[in-house]
Structure formats: C-alpha cells, structure tokens
Amino acid sequence: MDKQTIAGVDVSARRLDVAAQRGEEQLVRREFANTAKGHQRVIRWLTKRGAHARVVLEATGVYSHDLALALAEAPGVEVMVANPRATHAFATACMQRTRTDLTMAIILQSYAARMRFVPWVVPPPAARALQAVGRRMAALSAEQTREKNRLHAAQAKAATPRAIVNDLKANLRQLTRRLRTLTVEAQRLIANDPQLARAAAQLTSIPGVALTSAIYLLGELLTLAPDMSVRQWVAHAGLDVRVVQSGTSVRAAPRMSKMGNAHLRRALYMPALVAIRFQPNVRAFYEELLARSKAPLQAVVAVMRKLLHAIYGMLKTDTAFDGAKFRALAAASQP
C-alpha cells in the first residue's frame, strides 16, 4: 500500500516553502517557485511513487489561492486551507519561538499530522469571481470615503491650494467611474449564473440589502463549503460570542470573537443598521435588546448575527425574507 505524504506549505509572493513526510521517513524540506509551473512541481514531488498527499497551507489571499486550486484539482491530493489564527496558535502551543518561512512550513506539516483535517471545497468559479469583484469594490469604496474626508478638510482651509482641491475632485470622479464599471461587471456575473441570480433576488428582499450589499454578501457566502451549518457561518464571520471565565474571579463580559471573515462582518453592518430603521420586526428585536441594557453596538451585532441566520435559511430553502420568521428566530434565541 502506498504511504501517505503529510505536508505543510508556507506561501509567500514568489516562493513556496514545503515540509513533507511520507510515513516514517525523515521530514524533507524543499523550495519551489510560486508559479503555475512551481505548483505542478510541488504536486509531482508530493505524489511521487503513487503516494496520496494531504497538504495544509494558510489562507493568505491572492498568494495562496492559485496553489490551493491546483492542489485541490490534482489527483491523489487533499488540501486544507487553514485559518492563520489557528495555525499561529498551534505554533505558540508548540513553543515555537523562531518564525521564518521554513519553520512555519514545518509547523504547518505538524498541524496537518496532528489536527483534524478538513478538506477545502473549491468554490464555483462565478462565486469566486464575484468575491474578487466585491472585495475590490469594497476597497475602492473605502478609498472614496477617505478622499471625500480629505476634500472636506481641504475645502475647510482657506490656505489650501486650488490645485489640491481639483486633484481630489478628479480622483473622486475617477473612483466613481471605476466603482460603476465594477458594479456592471458584478451584475453581469450575477445575471449569467442562475444560482447567483436566485440568491441575489432573495438577499435584496431584505430591507437594508440593496445591490451593492448583495454583491458583497454573495461573494463571501457562496464561496463557503455547501455543507457548513449556520453556527459555522456565524463562527466564520467572527460573530460568535467569546466567553472568558476562570474560577470565581475571572468573568469577563461576553464579546464578539472577531476570529473570522472581516469582509463578511463589514458586509453585514450597513444592512443591519438600515433594517433596524425600516423593518419593524428587526427594529423590535433591536429595541428589546436595548431594554435589556445591551449597549447599542452589542444590539447591532446581535442583529447582524440574526440576519446571517435568516440569510442561511433563505438560501437553503429558496425563499424571500419574512419579517415574521426573523422575529420568531430572534424570540427563540432569547433566554
């Protein structure tokens, strides 16, 4: 029977540091280029002599994405894309004081060998494309807000040269055009994919979720593994509650963990605020939380969490938003 290769890969912009072990053989370390050819060389090396490979790498955005896809599509290879917080906590637990690309590859190999292996599910191409477009839109929108603030500050000072004001206005016009172009591209992606189109119609039935918010949410949610539970969605978003308690003296107030997808949290924030204003059932839930001495931000986070529950149910059952169901869901969660 072929031995299994257990490997960890530390990914950087130009290089892949790989630590691998086959059965009881000695740990071997190699370097490869972070290119398409380099990815194929990694696969051939890990699966030589017909070995099956299990590989762990960290979610490091654009640098790890193509490698993860190549590994997931290769015969005889399983890949896990691990949360960097989990792997770094593992390194701390192993008392790893030195952090280099090579030592991190060894840590990831040890993580693959010791921890529960969860294979990465490759998201549909249209969802991946929408996520990329949505994240770029979010980045440009944030830059647009910063430029508006700079323009306001510049116009408030009489000594500001006119050239600076004109430059800020020109950049704002350019950002607006670029955002419009990306929005059109996102609409094209949604219109050409039945799953995206159906999900977009469901999301925009929520008061507070317009086209832009739907683009952001769909890109983050439809790239998740289809078998994830709603509790896993909440944890992935970092909206789960973190409780710190030890003995009788340490009892910190429960707070949002934030150990998850910040893009998804940001995408939920504005829809939650708008829904609180304009959707009676959501507003009633929010006001009940305030009446129970919750801080306004705590109440908003709770609305975000319940909206995520509602979206999960809507997408799973192919239904539009129902305020009465949201209210029942919120009531069921109250102690």
pLDDT of residue 166: 97
Phi, psi dihedral angles at 303 (to 5 degrees): -65, -40
pLDDT of residue 20: 94
- Cα-based angle 11, 23, 49 (whole degrees, multiple of 5): 80
pLDDT of residue 240: 76
pLDDT of residue 170: 98
pLDDT of residue 258: 64
b or e along 42-65 (b: 16 or more beta carbons within 10 Å of the residue's beta carbon)?
A: bbebbbeeebbbbbbbbbbeebbe
CA distance 127 to 139: 18
Share of residues in the chain with pLDDT > 70 (%): 90
Mean pLDDT by groups of 10 residues along the chain of 335 residues: 83 92 88 95 92 89 85 94 85 73 86 92 93 96 97 94 96 97 98 96 94 96 90 87 48 59 93 95 94 92 94 94 85 63
Q: What is the DSSP string of 250-295?
A: EEPPPEE---S-HHHHHHHHHHHHHHHHH-HHHHHHHHHHHHTT--
DSSP 8-state assignment for residue 52: E
Report helix, strand or coil for 20.
strand
pLDDT of residue 94: 81
pLDDT of residue 251: 47
pLDDT of residue 97: 63
Check: CB of residue 46 under 8 Å from CB of residue 7: yes
Q: Which helix (H) or strand (E) holds 32?
A: strand 28-33
pLDDT of residue 85: 79
Assigned CATH for 4-114: 3.30.420.40
Report helix, strand or coil for 62.
helix
- Domain regions of the chain by residue span: 4-114, 125-192, 215-332
pLDDT of residue 1: 42
Check: CB of residue 36 under 8 Å from CB of residue 54: no
Structure tokens at 250: 């340490």
**Length of the chain in residues, anyone?**
335
pLDDT of residue 25: 86
Check: CB of residue 145 under 8 Å from CB of residue 171: no
pLDDT digits 0-9 by tens, 219-239: 999 998 888 899 989 988 888
Task: Please name the residues in contact with 70: beta carbons below 8 A apart, sequence gap of 6 or more.
Answer: 36, 39, 40, 42, 43
> Nearest CA to 302 among 263, 268, 262, 267?
268
pLDDT of residue 243: 43
Bridge partners (DSSP) listed for residue 250: 246
pLDDT of residue 183: 97
Share of residues in the chain with pLDDT > 90 (%): 69
> Nearest CA to 234 among 207, 252, 261?
261
